[in-house]
Amino acid sequence: MTETLMNAADRWRPLTELLQALLEQITGELPGCLGAGLTVGHAGGPPRVLAATGVATELLPAQLAHGGPVAVAAGSGAPVTTDDLFADERWPGLTRDVVLDGHPELPRVRGAAAVPGLWDDTSAFVLSASFDRPPGAGILAHLRRYEKLTETTLLVAETATAGDPDQTLDLLASRAAIEQAKGAIIAVRRCSPDEAWQTLRRASQEFNVKVRELAVALVEHLGGPLGPQPHGVPEIRPGAPAHHAAGRLWSAFTAE
């Protein structure tokens, strides 16, 4: 995520309207939902609020300042739910006294859920919702259905406002490589897409290599050819550190 995307949300009305419509649809579909929000972050930097509806307008800044499902999901890359937002030991700083002063609508909030995603190898987002009840068992699955749409929206907005065709092609190549590597991990470990992404993300951080280079190196290490790339999309050529990381990751898989 670059400043281009944040600036686009401020000045490009179609993006703002599309994000608001997406969040309003989520709010209307989920039982007891009081608001939904979208935060974005880049290269390990702090998440920032990109769009919000309902109580999320006030809750998202509070969560980013004091902790909560959104902050935890952004930091861990894993989905997060809570049955009692203001009494959860995972974020002791987010209390009713801190958040509710001057916001009479917020006392209705009880549960919350957050689902992380990404749209290139250094940019991530968190889609979240708040509820007047504990979130049901199907809430995360419902939010995940919107994860791909959110990812596509952000990718289009980022590339459309950047004005750089090479950046657009780089993002497309990264996305394709990461999805193929996730598929390989799912097949080998018999895990969920979320777990596959977390595995790639953790390994990338541990070995200090780009996710997209690790993704290509892992597919090559597993003996599978890279999927066909659209014409003009640049080839990703992982260096020795990425190949080393892929080998170590494969060794960890086979040792389990």
Instruction: Please say whether the beta carbons of 102 and 115 come within 8 A.
Output: no
Q: How confident is the model at residue 12 (pLDDT cuts 50, 70, 90)?
A: low
Range with the lowest mean pLDDT among 24-38, 162-176, 215-229?
Answer: 162-176
Give buried/exposed letters for 114-125 (b at 16+ CB in 10 A, else e): bbbbbbbbbbbb
d(CA 79, CA 124): 13
Q: How confident is the model at residue 131 (pLDDT cuts 50, 70, 90)?
A: very high
Q: How confident is the model at residue 7 (pLDDT cuts 50, 70, 90)?
A: low
Is the pLDDT reported for residue 219 higher than 90? no
d(CA 201, CA 41): 14
Instruction: Please say whether the beta carbons of 205 and 233 come within 8 A.
Output: no
Q: What local confidence, expressed as pLDDT, does residue 180 receive? A: 82
**Higher pLDDT, residue 149 or 223:** 149
Residue-range domain boundaries for the chain? 3-161, 165-255
Q: How confident is the model at residue 1 (pLDDT cuts 50, 70, 90)?
A: very low
Of these ranges, 12-21, 45-54, 191-200, the one predicted with the greatest mean pLDDT is 45-54
Of these ranges, 4-13, 81-90, 115-124, 183-192, the one predicted with the greatest mean pLDDT is 81-90
Q: What local confidence, expressed as pLDDT, does residue 125 receive? A: 92
Mean pLDDT, rounded, for 75-90: 94
Percent of the chain with pLDDT over 70: 77
Is the pLDDT reported for residue 94 higher than 80? yes
Q: End-to-end alpha-carbon separation of the chain, Å? A: 35
Tokens 């401020």, residue?
A: 10
CATH architecture of 3-161: 2-Layer Sandwich (3.30)
Mean pLDDT, rounded, for 171-186: 75
Range with the lowest mean pLDDT among 63-72, 90-99, 142-151, 176-185?
Answer: 176-185
Mean pLDDT, rounded, for 65-86: 93
Q: How confident is the model at residue 133 (pLDDT cuts 50, 70, 90)?
A: very high
